[in-house]
Chains A and B, each alone.
Chain A
Amino acid sequence: MGAQRKGASRVSDDHEELARVSLQAVLLADSFTTKFRPITLERPKVLLPLVNVPMINYTLSWLESAGVEEVFVFCCANSKQVIDYLENSDWVSLPDFAVRTIESHNSISAGDALRLIYERNVIHGDFVLITGDTISNMSLTQALQEHKERKKKDSNAVMTMVVKRSKPSPITHQSRLGTDELFMAIDHNTKQLVYYEDRVDYSKGIIHLDKSLIMDNSSISLHNDMQDCYIDICSPEVLSLFTDNFDYQHLRRHFVKGLLLDDIMGYKIYTHEICSSYAARIDNYRSYDTVSKDIIQRWTYPLVPDVKFFGNSTYKLERQGMYRASEILQARSAQVGPFTVIGDNSKIGDNTKITNSIIGHGCSIGSNVKIEGSYIWDNVTIEDGCKISNAIVCDGVVIKSGAELEPGVILSFKVVVGDQFTVPSYSKVSLFEQPTNQDSDEELEYADNSSGIVEFADTTDKSNSALMSNPLEMQGWPASELGKGGLGYVWSICEGSVEEEWRHSVAPIPADKLEKVLHKAPDDEVELTQDANVLPPSGELKSDSYVSDGDDNESSRDDSIHFEKEVEATFLRAVHENIEVANVILEVNSLRLSFNKVASDCAGAIFYSLMNFALDSSRGSSSELLKNTTSIITKWKKLLKYYLTDLDEEIEVILKFEEICLESAKEFTPHFTKILWQLYDQEIIQEEAILKWDAEKKEADDSDKLFVKQAEKFIEWLKVASEEEEEEEEE
């Protein structure tokens, strides 16, 4: 694909482009997740049919209607199929709408994709960033204008996120799109996003908001009733930010959180709430189900089956939300119920009942079949007497007579279900064997995922016709797995998620699961309020001590200990493997982000690791300990200094040191002053920090002053020195 060439040619007409500022969009045609497996092994997600039209057409149609003039489609997994599809479609021949593809084989995340796009240097203005599985009919005009105006006033306003109100279920804590609940804090007046928490940690019942948020903004709104539409209007800086922070992978988890936490750069993210228009992203099977139903019920108008847009054929809307293509062979005795779509050239046999379902093109459905709430794609053969409920059946599947699909079943391409066989609920069946290396680690999954897909893509491309038999003949098919005459592997559900499978399935949540969750919920609640009940009497509250944090101390302390351990492990690895300081800093930074810590925590943790290392390496001998500590501090001072940007962090280190001497390693106690002097001498800690620490401790109890007393002389000396200095200056 000549993306490179096209990119180059674009640069030449740069000036004209800038003059009238055309709107560009980046469409990620890969979700970089594995939620739609096994279907996505054979076909990329953006080409999966949604109400009989490949998803990407919805996204592109919307972009076109919203006034976008140039779209860069970023393809990764199964890229060939996407490119072929687009090249053979009408999209490439439109006059005012340019669709260009960018192909990559080694991108494993949205971050990689954006970095590649930055390298290509094709974006020269504000752009819309979406994934190819987004269905929307919102107007971009207002959001864009808001974004531009903000940008004019404040060049740090780099992104506008589109959000929509949607209350998650109070029981399952997930939205109707099957996504997890989301906590956001938005400034009431400016609409600035100040807090974002997805992947909610259920063990923690409390949201921590930094006090500075409220000092700056007199009023912010915390939302649990908002849904992220994954439509972002970005300034070009976003791309360079991804390039600068090459550890950013995920758009939300890394980029958004990174910007919110890191106030050094001062970049800001804003939100735009849509009220009447539709926007949703198909993230999992449940959202596939929900969005399909929304389309049939015309929430997405004009993107509905009976309105002609790209890639769909004409349907006629009949009463009760029934859409029918023109050429259907339907038996007189067949009953086709409400909210159903039937594609052309499909045949429906006698006494067959279809409700709330979507049937693709060229399907043949036998007699006495019952289909409800299911998605039957193209060229599917369903023989007589089958029962299908809440399932997704991909192209070319054959369901032999009398077979039954229980709710939540996914049948991937060309699977054959044998006679009278019942496929149990939530099973996923594919002609391909399940990849064996299932790793729970998200990052690894990314890598594993894309490489696997590329491999499969090659095989599919080579011999599309041979696909059906090819993988099976090679590996010897266990015929019994899908009944007599059946074809396909039943994928086992990975460990741990067995229980959770119902959450993201196409099937509605069964009542017994809901009940189970309900039963479980009160227990969580008990814990939560018990925590909150540990109330300090007001006397303690008034004093400035930390005692009053009783309710959150437990959870945050665990967190801190965990964080310290991780940092220590990182540090030790650095020592043993001779890793460069810059890389250690990177690793610690990523830990900091994932644990939601600030620089002073890092400083404390690193100092803790240094001291522990010193203690371990000196094996008890007191004099050696001092020597070791000194040398280790000298060696790693660059690392420590990186996190000591202001006084507070330096004080944190001193406090940490005190804590170490008091609690974990009493061996340091006699050397406190000497090591403190070392820290001062090596310019790790400034004298202001020491003096301030001293001043802070003045108020404390005598037991707390142990080390201040020890260091008294040193502090005295510092004071005299600083006074002298001042005098000199005065002279």
Chain B
Amino acid sequence: MDFQVVVLAGGTSKNLVPLVSKELPKALLPVANRPVLSYVLELLELSNLKDIIVVAEGEDVALRIGSWISGAYDERLRVEVTSVPEDVGTAGALRAISRHLTANDILVVSGDLVSDVPPGAVAATHRRNGAVVTAMLCSVPVSGSSESGSAGGKDKTKKAVIHNIVGLDPTKQFLLYIASGAEIEKDYKIQKSILRAVGQMDIRADLMDAYMYAFKRSALQKVLDQKDTFRSLRQDVLPYLVRSQLRSEVLLNGTPRTEENGLEKVGSHKIQVLLSQILSNSSATSFHDLYASGADGSIPVRKTHKCCVYIPPSSNYCARLFSIQSYSDINRDVIGEASHLSGYSFSAQNNIIHPSAQLGSKTTVGPHCMLGEGSQMGDKCSVKRSVIGRHCRIGSNVKIANSVVMDHVTIADGCSIQGSVICSNVQLQERAVLRDCQVGAGFVVTAACEYKGEALARKEK
């Protein structure tokens, strides 16, 4: 397949402070004890897409990611890690690596995608329709942990559900409208010309742009060249392509006509019948020809291009790691409902305890839990729906629920951790109580402290 893959690994996302740091960029954040980027890479590998360019923001980040990839995926994938300056945006990143892009079609994937939707399906949809862009839209995952479903929490998740507003044609193949980010807070402006051409547009708020796009290379490069103010793929380039689909400015003049077919083919049968009644004497062949050409039918005055979508079945898992909440959600899901993603085999108790881990007496590790290599736990501990990293030392009488504990964390006796994320090398002294907190790397929580809903991080030296 003549597809080139670009993985946008990003840098250190502001949304994820204090979880990320210079030492731990977003792409390497552990999800069920392996970097989030590995989920994308393995997904691509499954679809036999092995030519991969990983784009990271900043040299430092690129070096870290590069060294991890060469260790983990040597021989298996042809990965090239490049760095772009920070703050150029996703469109800027693609602009920067434009000369590396040679294939006819480019698959752009976000490095924070955790999914089991085969990218090959997106690529195939793209090819089948001869589209300029194909976006993957997936149903919005249920956010918020199911156990701590207090009333307040539920309201919050309900509010957060809308990620995108999309307009689709009745066959759910073509993207006719998309609003994302700040735009969804405003009133929606739907172009009548597109609506006229399609007849019916379904506007939905229950789909999320999964940030996996297939682009036609020539079109993508043309947009990036022409519109130098575009910074974001999601918020600038994609909406632009969608908006201008009936009046394309991105197709080269030499492109064969068959590739310019717009969406009007869909449902145009009726139109044709109607038209043939009206235009009984003219030799109009299809709606698209009519739309794209002048009245005399000879000179094409209008060009159209297709913007397609691929909507995976709702049984597939698809989530993006873009906030602390989603980080907890994804960790929970990967060891829970979407356990096939983790790549581990679960024990009879539906959990994963590394053989080298040591458990004290009367310590229970519930289902949907993971205990990493070389971790030790004292007596009478209880772990529920949590991920515990490698080489952690956990004392006695510790309760951990709905939390993520990364590597080399020391937890003293009598601590209680709920709904929190504890980064590497954190030290929790006796009887510390954390609820819905994020603790940055290397932080020390002093004895008997209680925190609720706070982000704790070491001060920068």
Q: How far apart sit A166 and B229, CA to CA, in the bound complex (Å)?
A: 42
List chain B residues, Cβ under 8 A from A541: 181-183, 235-236
A-B contact pairs, 12 of them (CB 8 A): A169-B275, A172-B278, A206-B189, A210-B187, A211-B187, A218-B205, A514-B279, A525-B246, A535-B227, A538-B89, A538-B235, A548-B183
List chain B residues, Cβ under 8 A from A207: 189-192, 195
List chain A residues, Cβ under 8 A from B290: 170-171, 518
Q: How far apart sit A223 and B23, CA to CA, in the bound complex (Å)?
A: 52
B202 within 8 A of A: yes
Is B187 a contact of A223 with CB atoms below 8 Å?
no
B41 within 8 A of A: no
Additional 7 contacts, C-beta under 8 A, given A219-B204, A514-B278: A168-B196, A204-B192, A205-B192, A211-B187, A508-B280, A532-B243, A535-B239
* Chain A nearest Cβ from B401, distance in angstroms: 32
- By CB atoms of chain B within 10 A, which of A511, A525, A538 has the most? A538
Is A224 a contact of B182 with CB atoms below 8 Å?
no
A519 within 8 A of B: yes
Q: How far apart sit A167 and B281, CA to CA, in the bound complex (Å)?
A: 21
Complex interface residues of chain A between 169 and 191 (CB less than 8 A to chain B): 169-173, 176, 181, 183, 185, 188
* Chain B nearest Cβ from A551, distance in angstroms: 7
Is B200 a contact of A221 with CB atoms below 8 Å?
yes
Chain B interface residues toward A at CB < 8 A:
89, 91, 162, 165, 167, 181-193, 195-206, 227, 229-232, 235-236, 239-240, 243-244, 246-247, 270-271, 274-275, 277-282, 287, 290-291, 294-295, 301-302
Is B188 a contact of A209 with CB atoms below 8 Å?
yes
List chain B residues, Cβ under 8 A from A225: 199-200
A53 within 8 A of B: no
Q: How far apart sit A185 and B167, CA to CA, in the bound complex (Å)?
A: 12
List chain B residues, Cβ under 8 A from A574: none
Q: How far apart sit A105 and B136, CA to CA, in the bound complex (Å)?
A: 62
The main secondary structure of chain B at its interface with chain A is: mixed
- By CB atoms of chain A within 10 A, which of B199, B270, B290 has the most? B199
* Chain A nearest Cβ from B422, distance in angstroms: 31
Complex interface residues of chain A between 678 and 696 (CB less than 8 A to chain B): none
Interface size class of A (residues with CB under 8 A): 35 or more
Q: How far apart sit A549 and B89, CA to CA, in the bound complex (Å)?
A: 21
Is A529 a contact of B243 with CB atoms below 8 Å?
yes
Chain A interface residues toward B at CB < 8 A:
167-173, 176, 181, 183, 185, 188, 200, 204-211, 214-215, 217-225, 508-509, 511, 514-515, 518-519, 522, 525-526, 528-529, 532-533, 535-539, 541-544, 548-549, 551-552
Is B236 a contact of A208 with CB atoms below 8 Å?
no
Is B189 a contact of A224 with CB atoms below 8 Å?
no
Is A167 a contact of B199 with CB atoms below 8 Å?
yes
Is A167 a contact of B271 with CB atoms below 8 Å?
yes
Q: What residue in chain B is nearest A222 (Cβ atoms)?
A: B201
Is A220 a contact of B244 with CB atoms below 8 Å?
no
Q: How far apart sit A411 and B229, CA to CA, in the bound complex (Å)?
A: 62
Is B184 a contact of A211 with CB atoms below 8 Å?
yes
List chain B residues, Cβ under 8 A from A551: 189
Which 9 residue pairs spanning A and B have beta carbons closest together?
A225-B199, A537-B229, A538-B232, A518-B295, A209-B188, A222-B201, A538-B231, A207-B190, A515-B295
Q: What residue in chain B is nearest A526 (Cβ atoms)?
A: B247
Q: A176, A204, A215: which contacts B274 (Cβ < 8 A)?
A: A176
List chain B residues, Cβ under 8 A from A518: 290, 294-295
Q: How far apart sit A176 and B278, CA to CA, in the bound complex (Å)?
A: 9
Q: A169, A209, A214: which contacts B278 (Cβ < 8 A)?
A: A169
- By CB atoms of chain B within 10 A, which of A188, A519, A536, A537 has the most? A537
Q: How far apart sit A306 and B450, CA to CA, in the bound complex (Å)?
A: 88
